Amino acid sequence: MAALSVQPLKRKRNENADKIETPSTEEQEAGVSTGNSAAARLPFSGFRVQKVLKESARDKILFLHGKVNEAPGEMNGEDAVVILEKTPFQVEQMAQLLSGSPELQLQFSNDIYSTYHLFPPRQLSDVKTTVVYPATEKHLQKYLRQELQLFRETEEDYRTITLPYLQCQSLSIQWVYNILEKKSEADRIIFENPDPSHGFILIPDLKWNQQQLDDLYLIAICHRRDVRSLRDLTSEHLPLLRNILLEGQEAILQRYQLKGSCLRVYLHYLPSYFHLHVHFTALGFEAPGSAVERAHLLADVIENLECDSKYYQHRSLPIALRTDDPLFQLFQGGKKG
């Protein structure tokens, strides 16, 4: 029986069609877990599967939509999304397991090759379990696998299509303010520069279990609240961006002994939530959202702004949109021909 590591939803990530992405430092609601490992219970009773929203055998992850809190004999429950993900292997634990007497079932044997089912003890078989409850229709659509299409967003497109669309959306980023105000996850903060204009908080992304460096993943969230995305950046923000790059790399070096040359430091565009944040991942880790159509290296962003203060106001930027996204419909209508 797998041990459930219950983590209420705190993160939000869009994904490309080839890479399934788990929630991370992006869609956190008020009052969520502060990151401790105490025993917990699911925030609902029962779970009747409605639909498999998405799955990946390669990434060992499953997204389920279910009905919960149903009265006996009735089918009137609330919606919830549960995301089940096999946690990464830890070499030391696996070596200890194999050197003992593991429970095995032989599946195949031929000459020097053999395949088994290995049943690890409870402490080595946990499944990271992320809960979205109560889930809205937006959440259900968000996690449903959909086709992606690529557009080039011009300066005019941003002003007349993207920005008006974003301004009418109601998705809360209160969870971001909870972190910045230390109302939530204060014990998970790796580093903070408290300056209100040029400072930020560095915190592990929930994709990373902090047990190995191969998939290191941290997020830098800036303190100032008037910068939504790459499109808002000008040369005015260079001190902030340089602080995030240099102080973030130094904090990771001090904490994890991983040099800046071993890190990928980048911003997403479009981001999944509109409060400026920067991703720090291990260079060898193929992190969701690190593809060229979405990731912009922070060092390049800094250099571009040094050359042209309004570089990101004027240039066209690629955006990958899901076909069920209302923004896709707006771009498809505006980009015909």
Q: Which residues are catalytic?
A: 277
212/128 Cα distance (integer angstroms): 15
Question: Hey, what amino acid is at 259?
Answer: K
246/230 Cα distance (integer angstroms): 19
CB burial of 139-178 (b: ≥16 within 10 Å; e: otherwise) equals bbebbbebebbebebeeebbeebbeeebeeeeeebebbbb
- The DSSP secondary structure of 26-79, one letter per residue, reads S-PPTT---S-------SSS--EEEEEEEEETTTTEEEEEEEESPPTT----EE
Tokens read off for 38: 């105490």
Q: Where are the alpha helices (DSSP H) in 63-217?
A: 91-99, 137-143, 155-157, 163-167, 174-180
